[in-house]
Each structure stands twice: as structure tokens, then as C-alpha cells.
Amino acid sequence: MDTSAAPGNGDNPEKRRGKWSFRRLVGVPVAMLAACAVIAVNVPTVGAAVANRYHQYQITRPAYEARYGLWNKLSIPARFRVNGIHSTLLYNGDVLIMAGSGNNQAFFNAGTFKTLLLNPVTMHEQLIRTPWDLFCAGHIELPDGNILIAGGTARYENLDPVYAAGSMTVVNNDAAQPWTLPKGTIFTGPNGVQFASAFALTIPRARRLRGAAGGQPAIVPSQQNVWVDAVRKGRGSLMPGTDRYEIQGLLGPAANNLLYGIGTPMTLQKQNFQGTRDAYIFDVRTSRYVKVNSMNYARWYPTLAEMGNGMVMAMSGLNGSGQVTMNSEMFNPGTRRWAQGPVHGFPTYPATFLTESGQLFFTGSNAGYGPSTSAWRTPGFWNVKTSVFQPVPGIPVPQDLETSASVLLPPAQKQTIMVLGGGGVGQSMSSTARTALIDIAAPDPHWVRGPSLAQPTRYPITVLLPDDDVLVTGGSRYYRGMHGSDNRDTRIYDTATNSFTWAANSITGRDYHSGGILLPNGSVLTLGGNPLFGNKQDTAPQAFNQEIDVYFPPYMFRGPRPRITAAPRVLQLQHSYLISVSQAASIRDLRLMRPDNPTHVTDVNERSVAVAFTRAGHGELRITLPASSNLIPPSYYMLFAVSSRGIPSAGFWVRVP
């Protein structure tokens, strides 16, 4: 293990400031800096306004745009503005923006859950009826292009509870029938203290096992957990032990051996957010949510990752008691059923990427909750068939990967993953500017230091571009933008040279609950931003940033773009096809890019896959798809042709079954 090349914990951004300052001077036109200085001296009262106008003029000059790109704000009517916490690009070019209650407890209590369907080109907007609180669920595009959303919010956190509460396991010994207990069912403890269930629940019937020949059949009870709150306020309802509770009302006295509760300690400690087991599919054709089978486990902050066979792994998340679940489960898009998966402890929203070998590689990136122990935080390979987790240590202080971003660098064939930024576990004030890379296909994968970000950054937005660059923008220096630390830096990471160049500063602060999406025309949509406070002094209440921006990268200003004029709409692995492209003689690369679906600095299904080709003459290319579905899992993709000048076409939608 080459630890000397790994990024150090003593990653000191101050030390490198000189270097980055120099780059910034090179990056930003010097004339602009000089102009600002002169104006500030000569006309102090109107200086800011004039400087601003001059800045506006500078950044819209063609030469500036061709070098740094251009930001633009979309104009969204007030009634269509939602908290852009979850978003995904659909194969029809629309962007689905999912808020649910949007981190707003008043909306949660009122049952106000929101989703916006937006076409960023035609600016057609439509609010979608949202039947459950998908806030902080996991979401993914299925092989047929519809969106699976699993989990969400059952209950908001309670930092200072006045009713003792905890988790109740309801045991069913009745092999004759399942039992359904309504919300508010009363559980009475040994000393008469009463608790009420926060949700309805159904406990399946017990199983009857055949005994030995002539023996009585054995009963295997079934059980379900439910959150319960004390009926009376205060310390009188504290229950320090694990007690047996009788269930009131539904049953006769004899029934209490059939159905009863086993309570965890009932406390007045801080209560975490609680997840739901709900799962829905957003049907792209009907623009509706359709309920599918619930998960086996409640999840809040889960990651959904597609495997090469089209199955979806759901991992981690807070369960119905606000604890991180170690159980994974697998969704079959054909049967729409969930099956138990292997057990491993990951922090919430773990960044787990499908490797060419069919395993999942956990990069260490995550968002939010989970033990800080190295066993939970160390990156590694997870074989979901054998359940074996093989750690790949070597990145110093893996705990600092919380709120970092991870990307599978383009093209996916290189099997190189990059982690960017991040900070300490929980509401820590520490954050890091480091980046690190790892070749996960190497015989001995090890972490190497990458170029540092301009400043320590949590929640950086990272979006793969068709020319193999990675846009890196937004985030904040401190936990959830505290002290007004939203970061406007925007840089483009060049995979060929392993270095950053400056791009135009973003026009909106975006920290927690933000994301970015590559649009079919090659521009990038950014949305969200949920600072803990509304001002620099950390005294004003938070305001969610509902603005939506589009960034046009430099390649959109560098001359005529190639155009894919014809291609089959369905492309099979390993098969060859003819496609028609303008500028065919100068096409350098072809890429298949999966639609982005980011949330909480996590987008593990984002990938850009190289497609081999030969020139067939008459403006045609003969393309051949890769062989491995682990490289290119079943999905819709955008096919981009990139010219020898690094200018990409618009994406041409295809489906890889």
C-alpha cells in the first residue's frame, strides 16, 4: 500500500493558497480586476453598481464565454418553485424535481408534499401530485426509464422531546392470521405506563414448523417494530428496561399471549428523523407516481445503486426508529418485489459504485448519519453475492469523507474514482480541500492524492461532461453553509491532465440539499441549497434556495458542434451499428452518458462510457458497444459525439436493454 502518495490529513489549504491565487489571476481577466480597483477608488458611492455592470459586460463577451462558460438563471414563476432536494433527468428531456415536505416541518404536518416537472428548454412547468413524503428518499432511473423512489420521511427529528419514546417490537404468535394495529394503539407496561403507536402496522402471521414425527408443530412468531410515544408528558413515563407490554383494546385477555409488545428503553433523548418503507415509481409517460411494494426496511437517506442485471440495491438509511439500518435489499424491476440483501454497516447515503467486476465499491463518501468508527467509514469492495466487504484503507481520516462527492471518472472503462472535498462527521466545523483518486481495477488498488480544490468544500456539486471533463461547483466551506460560507468557485477537472482550470463563478450559493444535472444539449442545470441559517451571523432563520441555474460550458461557445443525425434507438451490448454524424471525419470520441439523478452529494449511477468506433465513410461511423453490463447497466443513455476540438454534439437518446 503506497501511503506516501495518499493525501495527508495535514492537507493545509493555507499553504497552497499562493499557487491557487496565481491560477485565479490567470483565470480571471486581469483587466476586470484592475477596473474594479480603479472604480472603487474614484467613485466609491456608485462603484459597486458600475463594477457589477462591468462584470456583467465582461462575462458575456464571447471570448470570456469560450474560456470560462456562462451562467444563466431560469425564471420560474413563484407557484412552481419547490425545494430542489432530489432531481433526475428523464429520457424525454424533462427534469423531475422532488421536494416532498422539503425540510419544512409545517409542510410535513400539513401533508404538503411537492414535485415539479420542468422542461428546461421549453420552460414547461407542471406540479405533480405527490402521495407521500419522499423527502430524503433514494431515487434511481430503472432500465425502462421510469424512476424508482424508495423511502422518505415518516417523522421529523425532535431535538427536545417532552414525551418519553422509543421503539416497540410487536410479536405475533398467531399462526392463523396477520394482525393490523391502527396508529394510536395503546401499549401498557408492567407499572401501568402507557405508550401509543405513532404509525399503523401489520404483523404477518406466525409460521408453523412441522415438528418431529408425531410431535406438536412449533410456532415461529413474526414481529414488526413501531415507534411509540408516551401518553403522558415528562419523566414519569421513562422506562429504563426492556419490558413486555400488553396491547389494549383489540384483543380479549387470552389474546395477550398471541400478540404483545417488547419495548426498548423509553427515553427523553433527541429523536432522529425516521424513515418509511414506502416505494413508488414515477411513470414518465403518465407523469404520475404509482405505489409499488414497500421495502422490508424503513429508510431515510438510503442509496439506490443499479447492478449490471438491472436489479436495484437499496442500502443504509435511518429506519423507523431513527437508527442506521445495516440491512440491504434488492428491487427486481420485473416483479417489483424486494428481496433481502446482505448485511453491512454503511453511513447514510453511502457512495457505492458498480465496478466492472460486478461488486460495489464504497468510496467513503456519504451524507449525514452513522457511527464514526473506521469499520463504517473505510472505503472498500463489497461483494453483494458473498456479503464479503474487503476494505481498501490508505486514505487518511476516512471520517473526513462525510459530505464529500464521489465520481466514477469518464470514461467508465478506466475504472478510476475520484473523491472531492468533504468534512468531519456530523456538525463538525472541519472540512477539507483534498481530492483523491483510486484505480479500482488495479491489482492492488490504492489511493493517490489529486489536485486540491480552491478551498475546503463540503457538498461540492460534480457533473460529468461529454468531453470527459468534470464540472465542480458550489458547496460550502462549513457545515450547511454556516457563517455565510457558500462557495461560488467553479472549476473544470481535466481527466487527461489531472488538473483543475477555473470556470466562471456560479451565480447562486448551493450547499446542503443541492445538485447538478447534465442536460441533453450539453449544459448543466444546478438547483437547491439549504443553509442552516439565512445570514452570515448565523442568526436569521434558514431560507431554502429555490432558484435554478444553467451553466453553459466553454465548449458551447467554441464553434460549430457535431450533430448525430441518425442512430438506432436501442443498442445491444457487443453489437455494432451505423450512426450518421456531421463532422464524422473529425470525431474523436463517442460517449454514452447515463441521465443524472443527484441528491445529497450522491449520484452513484452517473457514468460516461466510451463507445468504440471506426469511420465508415459517407458521414457514418460504425460503433460497437462494450460487452459488460457492469460497465453499461441497462438504462436510457445519451449518446454524444465529441470532435477533435473537444466540442460535443447534443445527446442523442438511446436505450441499452
Which residues sit at the interface with Cu ion, rule CB under 5 A? 136
Cα separations (Å) of 210 from 171, 216, 218, 611? 20, 7, 6, 57
> Which helix or strand (DSSP H or E) is residue 435 part of?
strand 435-439
Question: Of 322, 315, 319, nearest to 346 (Cα)?
Answer: 315
Question: Of 470, 603, 432, nearest to 528 (Cα)?
Answer: 603
Question: Of 462, 437, 451, nearest to 596 (Cα)?
Answer: 462
Question: Of 453, 339, 364, nearest to 417 (Cα)?
Answer: 364
Pairwise CA distance, residues 223 & 320, whole Å: 14
Residue 420 beta carbon to Cu ion: minimum distance, rounded to whole angstroms: 20
Residue 217 beta carbon to Cu ion: minimum distance, rounded to whole angstroms: 47
- Residue 303 C-alpha cell reads as 442509496
Q: Looking at beta carbons only, is 59 or 136 nearer to Cu ion? A: 136
Residue showing cell 427523553: 268
Q: Is the dihedral of CA 320, 324, 325, 331 positive or negative?
A: positive
Q: Looking at beta carbons only, is 311 or 405 nearer to Cu ion? A: 405
Residue 95 beta carbon to Cu ion: minimum distance, rounded to whole angstroms: 19
Pairwise CA distance, residues 239 & 228, whole Å: 12
Residue 549 beta carbon to Cu ion: minimum distance, rounded to whole angstroms: 21
Q: Looking at beta carbons only, is 599 or 643 nearer to Cu ion? A: 599
Q: Looking at beta carbons only, is 76 or 136 nearer to Cu ion? A: 136
Pairwise CA distance, residues 360 & 354, whole Å: 5
Q: Looking at beta carbons only, is 136 or 397 nearer to Cu ion? A: 136
Residue 270 beta carbon to Cu ion: minimum distance, rounded to whole angstroms: 17
Residue 599 beta carbon to Cu ion: minimum distance, rounded to whole angstroms: 8
Torsion, Cα 122 127 129 131, to 10 degrees, reads 100
Gap between the terminal Cα atoms of the chain:
39
Residue 153 beta carbon to Cu ion: minimum distance, rounded to whole angstroms: 9
Q: Looking at beta carbons only, is 363 or 530 nearer to Cu ion? A: 530
Residue 623 beta carbon to Cu ion: minimum distance, rounded to whole angstroms: 40
Q: Looking at beta carbons only, is 299 or 491 nearer to Cu ion? A: 299
The DSSP secondary-structure symbol of 94 reads -
Residue 487 beta carbon to Cu ion: minimum distance, rounded to whole angstroms: 19
CB-facing half-sphere around the CA of 88: CA atoms within 13 A: 28
Ordered strands of the 635-643 beta sheet = 608-610, 587-593, 635-643, 652-656
Tell how strand 587-593 and strand 635-643 pair up. antiparallel
Q: Looking at beta carbons only, is 98 or 472 nearer to Cu ion? A: 98
Q: Looking at beta carbons only, is 302 or 396 nearer to Cu ion? A: 302
Closest residue to Cu ion, based on beta-carbon distance = 136
Q: Looking at beta carbons only, is 30 or 159 nearer to Cu ion? A: 159
Q: Looking at beta carbons only, is 151 or 634 nearer to Cu ion? A: 151
Residue 135 beta carbon to Cu ion: minimum distance, rounded to whole angstroms: 7
Residue 99 beta carbon to Cu ion: minimum distance, rounded to whole angstroms: 11
Coil/strand/helix, residue 207: strand
Cα separations (Å) of 307 from 326, 332, 450, 551, 583? 19, 11, 28, 31, 36
- Interacting residues of 255 by C-beta distance below 8 A, sequence separation 6+: none
Backbone angles phi, psi at 448, to 5 degrees: -125, 150
Q: Looking at beta carbons only, is 272 or 490 nearer to Cu ion? A: 272
Q: Are the C-beta atoms of 88 and 597 separated by less than 8 Å? A: yes
Tell how strand 435-439 and strand 416-420 pair up. antiparallel
Angle at which helices 30-42 and 47-59 cross, to 10°: 160
Residue 600 beta carbon to Cu ion: minimum distance, rounded to whole angstroms: 6
